């Protein structure tokens, strides 16, 4: 694979993004840096948001505006002089989340900076059936219940909403980043890794 590669992995929870990102780092033979949602590892607004979330002071709409500012900072400072794995894009998730919440002013703000967002060399959208995600969630809860997120709980409490958001995020990722969709329901982690590695090599050959 070529140097200074920008790989985007997207998908709702329990599709395998974080696990695959770690496997790529371990097996590719290259030095990678993983960005989770953000386009940087340290963002002052993101740090502020973490503090405020612990205090449980504001609602999701306020945090949406703070995340918009955080993303603007990230876009300004982002550099493609490293091999980067983008584990979820804040831009995509914010648009989908705030559409669902009917925060339309926020949606327009995020949509307005689509053209300014760094474009990955290759974008992969990972998905899985709701039944497979339930099994993965049960395993996660047994191993460490603290790792269970609100989106994870939606799989159990409101699967219809989860599937709807998964489909919306998938279509948006395909539209903006031309994502290649991989359904991991019947694939092992190694099979998923091998397929993504193949896609990366194919992308290199096309350059």
List the domain boundaries for the chain.
Answer: 6-202
For residue 179, give the DSSP letter: P
Query: What six digits make up the tokens of 207?
Result: 């350059």
- In CATH, the number for domain 6-202 is 3.40.50.300
| Residue 140 structure tokens | 């996660």
Contacts of 145 (CB under 8 A, 6+ apart): none
Report yes or no: 71 and 90 within 8 Å, Cβ to Cβ: yes
Q: Is the pTM of this model over 0.85?
A: yes
- Backbone dihedral region for residue 102 (phi beyond 0: left; psi -120 to 50: alpha; all else: beta): left
Pair 143, 28: CB distance under 8 Å: no
**Per-residue model confidence as pLDDT tens digits over 84-130:** 999 999 999 999 999 999 999 999 999 999 999 999 999 999 999 99
- Residue 41: pLDDT band with limits 50, 70, 90: confident
- Torsion angle, alpha carbons of 151, 124, 32, 77, to 10: -80
């Amino acid at each position: 694979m070529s140097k200074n590669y920008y790989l985007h992995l997207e998908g709702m929870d329990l599709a395998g993004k974080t696990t695959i990102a770690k496997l790529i780092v371990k097996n590719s033979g290259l030095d990678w840096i993983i960005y989770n949602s953000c386009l940087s590892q340290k963002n002052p607004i993101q740090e502020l948001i973490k503090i405020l979330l612990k205090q449980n002071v504001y609602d999701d709409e306020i945090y949406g505006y703070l995340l918009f500012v955080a993303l603007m900072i990230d876009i300004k400072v982002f550099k493609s002089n490293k091999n980067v794995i983008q584990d979820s894009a804040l831009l995509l998730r914010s648009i989908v989340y705030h559409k669902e919440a009917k925060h339309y002013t926020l949606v327009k703000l995020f949509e307005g900076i689509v053209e300014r967002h760094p474009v990955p060399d290759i974008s992969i959208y990972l998905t899985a059936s709701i039944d497979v995600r339930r099994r993965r969630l049960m395993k996660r809860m047994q191993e460490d219940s603290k790792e269970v997120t609100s989106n994870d709980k939606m799989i159990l409490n409101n699967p219809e909403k989860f599937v709807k958001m998964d489909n919306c995020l998938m279509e948006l990722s395909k539209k903006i980043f031309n994502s290649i969709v991989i359904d991991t329901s019947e694939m092992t982690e190694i099979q998923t890794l091998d397929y993504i590695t193949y896609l990366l090599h194919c992308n290199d050959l096309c350059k």
